[in-house]
Chains A and B, each alone.
Chain A
């Protein structure tokens, strides 16, 4: 599976015109075509595509993702140490944790708010509560993120100076205590996480709302109510449990999305994450980085699907029975 994915991505990548040498110093009259040809040879870019793929596969089989073609030559995946003990960090190694942190926080917030909003909307179906929640999540979905981001940055950062505007750390953060460093980081993350959540709320909360409505009309809820269990327990214990089962699939499907950042949000907030890394690599035709991210992405997609299936089986006895049989 992985080999198939990597083969396809490798060939699609080669279809795009140009390579790294056409981007670095491309229109600088001081850089001659002979020098660029020399560079092409040094990177094996003059070889046929299939040979390049073979070379790549050979390295990848030893878990060597290679170095970036770009002039910083940093390792794609993990840090390397030179003979003097200097450590060069890998590109994905540095970008992934930041993106993961933002997306995990985002997913956590999306799900917690969506479950509350969805439940509330379904219990108060067709009242003003329901309608205003629907309106709110759709407005959030429809607002262009970059525009809202800039407004919020202006309001919280320039006008009121409550929050930092961009970046991940304040200037003197290395002098802070560990606790303050974390606080500083969280402060920088408030806006990016908020913006990334806003568009996700609509889908999930409507899922929960509709799931709840379906469950609330089922016989066992009527039975529960007939038994005289109080309404809170009916809604939160009996109904909600069943209504959020489908969300497990969504969580599973969103695992690959966890490692893909958003180019726009990362650019606006000056966050060095995966989205910007991938985007820049594509523009620069930095093949090792593109391939590294795609391979890891497809690997995580496969893992995500597996986990979603397993999670479903764990949560839903009906599915589990099917597995055992």
Chain B
């Protein structure tokens, strides 16, 4: 019997041993404050999914765009303060009628294979993206161009039917492709997408399917030389595994979650010693959206009441562990498009109840809100995303307190979109918008954009907002645009078609061997200057068996 007991406890004991074992740190590196910049080295990061296709206009996934951005260039880019800056074009001139933009390319641009990069390539790329046979979802912006010309090898001009303010933004996202390689290829199915010739800081070195993608420096880069020689992206779908690889020093960089940032790192001196943490405001926000076409949310008072009844600070604390901000307009805080004079609805349940009373709701003796004999109840739909699920639960709790019965339903993405969003068969959703850097939000808020599959699926209609959105699209003067979008934000907040819940921070953990990272992050984020990052010789990983 004694033996029996030992055998029974053995696995349990061994697990405790397993957990309690902790390695004595074999070496503590003393990081200096100032390293001299050095070329070379390799940085290894982890990504959740494999890139599908390195031609960004065809690919729809973020992994592809992340890698392609290192290989290709756009005509113009955003600098660290999110202003337009030269990339392939040294300057751009907007005509007096604001309909024609002339891009002047820099001198002596070359593709990675040594062929000159000229305005022909730009024209070719524009033709490609607007070609009806190209399988791209992004054509519509470029179809607005009435005419594109290349007066000479250095100049590219586009003329729009009507002046189009987001035009510059669209030219900051169209990656220019090489005509000489692609002219006889079918862009939808070409080997080029797995073995591209680009012009950016890096070119493809090796792609092991399902495992990793390695880039090496492009000696003919049009933007000068980056400092780090190799960028390797390992594909590790599970973020817990990524984290283990990070603390075992097998990867240098990953996106972490609030728990890792706020709970794991502060309690682990050994990790803090070798891994730096960075946070920056992301380009998106999470919201509670209503179906404005149906009762009860067709009444602005009810929507405003929801806004007062939901405690956003609590959600940010509970879901993001404080790593987010409450917002009052659909723009990134700190950018010029964000209207600083607006502030989010405060948490005020009594005000919410007062508004609901005006809208005809009374609390019955059981504390439930009732209008015309019917209790106030609705269902929140969201997709399989832990943060959104948790958010919905906190919303549910606060609404329950004022007598609204909320149910939550979590759906798989494709079913969610096709079965509920496209058909308008929902009362409320928790979803997120990620935003481009241009303030134009015509597609999301204009009353004409309500068809199935279009983005104003909540059914928002406000004539003044329509007018402002149309104006904002036509106005190329940034100061005037700022005024337009500030007014638009104000109206949107008053009408409250959605409740802004939070804008979360992007959190990165980067091994301290990587130097030259700006802290605090500039408005464009820490990755904006990644070509200036470097790894001092003394901190480099012992490269395994490189012969």
User: Which A residues form the contact surface with B (CB < 8 A)?
Assistant: 16-19, 21-36, 38-39, 42, 67, 70-73, 82, 84, 86, 88-89, 94-95, 128, 131-132, 135-136, 139, 150-155, 157-161, 164-176, 180, 266-272, 276, 283, 285
Contact = CB atoms under 8 A, between A and B. Distances in A.
Contact of B413 (A23, A166, A266): A23
B21 A36 contact: no
Contacts of A168: 211
B115 interface: no
B257 to A, nearest CB: 15
Given A71-B52, A172-B543, A270-B241, 9 more contacts: A24-B61, A29-B444, A35-B137, A35-B140, A71-B53, A71-B64, A72-B194, A135-B8, A158-B247
Interface in B275-314: none
A21 to B, nearest CB: 8
B453 interface: yes
A169 B132 CA distance: 42
A35 B15 contact: no
Contact of B140 (A16, A34, A73, A268): A34
Interface of B: 3-4, 7-8, 11, 15, 18-19, 21-23, 44, 50, 52-53, 58-61, 64, 132-133, 135-141, 173, 188-191, 193-195, 206, 208-212, 232, 234-238, 240-241, 244-245, 247-248, 250, 412-415, 417-419, 431, 433-434, 436, 441, 443-444, 451-455, 543-547
A87 B221 CA distance: 27
Given A22-B414, A71-B64, A268-B240, A176 B545 contact: yes
Nearest to B57: A71
Contact of A33 (B52, B209, B451): B451
B419 A165 contact: no
A168 B210 CA distance: 10
Contacts of A33: 451-454
Contact of B455 (A24, A29, A139, A176): A29
B145 to A, nearest CB: 15
B244 A157 contact: yes
A26 B248 contact: no
A75 B496 CA distance: 48
A99 B232 CA distance: 25
A71 B414 contact: no
Contacts of A42: 133, 135, 188
A214 B190 CA distance: 63
B414 A165 contact: no
B99 to A, nearest CB: 21
B138 A86 contact: no
A171 B194 CA distance: 20
B244 A165 contact: yes
B155 to A, nearest CB: 26
B191 to A, nearest CB: 4
A195 B462 CA distance: 58
A170 B136 CA distance: 36
Q: Which 3 A-B pairs have the closest CB atoms?
A: A272-B210, A18-B414, A24-B60
A73 B431 CA distance: 30
Given A67-B189, A86-B191, A165-B244, A171 B236 contact: no
A158 B418 CA distance: 44
11 contacts: A22-B418, A26-B417, A35-B138, A131-B7, A132-B8, A153-B244, A165-B244, A166-B238, A270-B211, A270-B236, A272-B210
B7 A272 contact: no
Contacts of A139: 11
Contacts of A153: 241, 244
Given A172-B546, A272-B210, A267 B237 contact: yes
A164 B417 CA distance: 40
A237 to B, nearest CB: 30
Contacts of A28: 60, 137, 434
B248 A165 contact: yes
Contact of B418 (A18, A150, A276): A18
A283 B414 contact: yes
Nearest to A168: B211
A31 B137 contact: yes
Contact of A89 (B7, B209, B250, B413): B209
A24 B237 contact: no
A170 B234 CA distance: 11
A270 B189 CA distance: 27
Q: For B3, B137, B418, B452, which residue has the most chain A Cβ atoms within 10 angstroms? A: B137
Contacts of A165: 241, 244-245, 248, 250
A24 B441 CA distance: 21
A176 to B, nearest CB: 5
A84 B191 contact: yes
A111 B7 CA distance: 23
A139 B13 CA distance: 14
A95 B11 contact: no
Contact of B7 (A31, A135, A160): A135
A172 B53 CA distance: 25
A22 B417 CA distance: 7
A250 B21 CA distance: 40
Contacts of B132: 38
A71 B4 contact: no
B381 to A, nearest CB: 13
A266 B50 CA distance: 14
B241 A169 contact: no
A32 B137 contact: yes
Nearest to A151: B18
A173 B133 CA distance: 41
A192 to B, nearest CB: 11
